[in-house]
Chains A and B, each alone.
Chain A
Amino acid sequence: MMRFSQLRIWLLVVAVVTVLALAACSSDETSGGEAEPDKITAWAWDPHFNIAALEIAKESYGKDLELDVIENAQDDIVQKLNTGLSSGSMKGMPNIVLIEDQRAQGFLQSYPDAFFPIDEYFNLDDFAPYKLEPTSFDGKQYGLPFDTGVTGLYFRTDYFKEAGYTKEDLMNITWERYIEIGKDVKAKTGKDMMTLDPNDLGIIRVMIQSAGSWYMKEDGKTVNLVDNEPLRKAFENYKAMMEADFIKANSDWSQFLAAFNNGDVATVPSGNWITPSIEAEDSQAGKWAVAPIPKLDIEGSVNASNLGGSSFYVLNIPGKEKAAEFLGKTFGSNKEFYQDLVLEVGALGTYTPASDGEAYQTENEFFGGQSVTSDFSKWMEEIPSVNYGLHTYAIEDILVAEMQNYLKGKNLDDVLADAQAQAEAQLK
């Protein structure tokens, strides 16, 4: 009997506690203040780029708006959004958030009601077309396109001169030609051609987007690896570059920067956002120039591609109209603002009317007087539009592993077929 009552009390305690626990958990606030807030919050990363751009936007916005810009690392923003939005509670979420283009579809489709469509707040035709596909979903525009990741081939004019090449030799070339030149440059100057992180297939993405292809088909869902001709070509080029022995391996961002700041590599094929990092090494002023990115040796590939870039999104919470209007009046339509952006931050937007502005024509002394900004904005308009779809990073992790097998000698057909099978199994 004693045992019985002890058991009973235990049961009672557990029951009480469970009820308490459940009660505590189910008492979610459903009435979450409908009142318009006075303050608009925005989450973004990189104080020298995105945050600075938001600050300039705030200044150029005529109306009085209390905008609170909160700096977070990009990874933290991704985590906070995922945990916050999946909990179903919008508490603590910002009004405006910056999302990388390749992740945007994942968020838009994972949390369909969490974002606010902003079609009405700006003119879609004013923006580079390649930027609209990843930022819209289900016929509605959710993102306000911000910076471009338009790529260029940054190269050291002094090294190329030493090897007997001029800028003309690098204009509108293919990757195959790039590899030939690279071998020659390495033989004559001893300098590596470029630096790569084996865990980051950014260069592959650059190559395939130049031919309008991606890891997924246009629907953004069907895995497109095995019969993807541009991808096959890109893999072949990648292996050829590795075998040409002109790749300096790096394993993180700081080693990547060090490789060209120390003058170890002759070219940097990258997004235009790398410009400030290249300019950071004063001693190399006048020794750099930018050529169009090489293309793939197949029909339909152009000398323009994209790497990175992000856009602003408005969350579906009180204050959304205010936030959308702010974005529309600044990033969405203000030509003058984009001139300031180029001059003060070096940020190149995707707002096309801005490109005939004065600031875009400025000659850059660091790049031997080349009008870098104007060149980039020309290339930007040629970038083929692709649907990044949902699973870029998941597929890339599979490809990184398969690329290692390919480099070790596995047959390319098997590599792509295996990658396709893995991706389909993982993403069903």
Chain B
Amino acid sequence: MSKVVKRTNLPYTINLKSSGSWLKKNYIGWLFILIAAAGICLFYFYPMVQALLLSFQSGMGANLEYVGLDNYVRLFKDPTFIAALRNTFLYLLIQVPLMIILALFLSVLLNNATLKFKGFFRTAIFLPCVTSLVAYAVLFKYLFGENGLINQFLLNLSIISQPLNWLSDPLLAKIAIIIAITWRWTGYNMIFYLSALQNIDKSMYEAAEIDGASSLQKFFYITVPMLKPIILFTSIISTIGTLQIFDEIMNITNGGPGNATLSISMYIYNLSFEYSPDFGYAATVSYVIVILVVLLSLIQFKVAGDKK
């Protein structure tokens, strides 16, 4: 196989005897990934393609027929969808930065070498993440109830004179949802930052101290740049999570009052199970989430300036 040998720029020269022996050498490898690859295709790509096809169909229940791009046109004229989209973006724009900053702040505090009971605080802040989504959402519903703990607390401190209608006021309901998600997920993101902080070389801080840097300067000029990949990672994960938010909305406000807290996922659920089922249009709405996740992740990569 002299032709092959000439191509020296290829990195895998050891495999290059012939395509046949290359196969022979690797078929065990192929065998190993075959099951996983088949699983991914069967349970991931196949449903994705089916959902895409479904998004071009419309009709009630089993009476689906192809309608071309009608569903996608309908999206732009559907006030409920637009309300859901607006709410979801509101959660995204307020909650994700809030949570990332809070998690960063907490992780730096907890990384302090002189802090006592570090283990206790870390556990306490991480603990919300191990609770089930539904269980914590139900708890928050009761906390924010008209005679719930939060109203009682505010009343006793004389901050408010009448109980607030947390869950039946459009603005307060959104705030309640944002507080709930932040409580649940801050600790989760904090763990990523904590582990990344362990990897920052102490000597950099020592050098900065010798140069007379304040702790604020150390934070902004050493900690944040060193954590940048992790910050990017957590913001993408959180963005994807927030776009798909469902459990909290379903259990705390059920989308109400009106459409004030409705999220895109909740709308998909309503279209499929709450109203006369239109799985075609529901699939179209779910593809909007896919498109948004891809777009937002690309933007985040660009903004963070990660060339790789």
Contact = CB atoms under 8 A, between A and B. Distances in A.
B71 to A, nearest CB: 11
A426 interface: yes
Contacts of A198: 168, 256-257
Interface stretch (B33-41, B177-185, B240-248): B33-41
B258 interface: yes
B133 to A, nearest CB: 16
Interface in B24-75: 30, 34, 37-38, 41-42, 46, 60-63, 74
B38 A21 contact: yes
A2 B42 contact: no
B274 interface: yes
A17 interface: yes
Nearest to B271: A394
Interface stretch (B10-18, B95-103, B104-112, B219-227): B10-18
Given A5-B19, A111-B61, A422-B79, A255 B146 contact: yes
Contacts of B145: 251, 255
A389 to B, nearest CB: 9
A315 to B, nearest CB: 14
Interface stretch (B188-196, B207-215, B275-283, B293-301): B275-283
Contacts of A187: none
A1 interface: yes
Given A249-B168, A394-B275, A426-B80, A21 B46 contact: yes
Given A249-B168, A393-B275, A86 B42 contact: no
The secondary-structure label for the interface of chain A is helix
A24 interface: yes
Most buried by B among A75, A109, A255, A402: A255
A71 interface: no
B3 interface: yes
Interface in A1-31: 1-2, 5, 9, 13-14, 17-18, 20-22, 24-25
B22 interface: yes
Contacts of B63: 110, 112
Contact of B279 (A86, A107, A400, A402): A86
Contacts of B234: none
A404 B62 contact: no
A411 interface: no
A14 to B, nearest CB: 7
A13 B274 contact: no
A109 B277 CA distance: 10
A421 to B, nearest CB: 9
Given A75-B273, A106-B60, A255-B145, A425 B78 contact: yes
> Which 6 A-B residue pairs are closest in the complex by CB-CB distance?
A110-B61, A401-B258, A394-B275, A5-B19, A199-B256, A106-B276
Interface of A: 1-2, 5, 9, 13-14, 17-18, 20-22, 24-25, 75, 78-79, 82, 85-86, 88, 106-107, 109-112, 114, 198-199, 249-252, 255, 390-391, 393-394, 397-398, 400-404, 422, 425-426
Given A85-B61, A106-B275, A401-B259, 11 more contacts: A2-B4, A2-B22, A13-B30, A17-B34, A109-B60, A394-B270, A397-B270, A398-B80, A400-B257, A404-B257, A425-B74
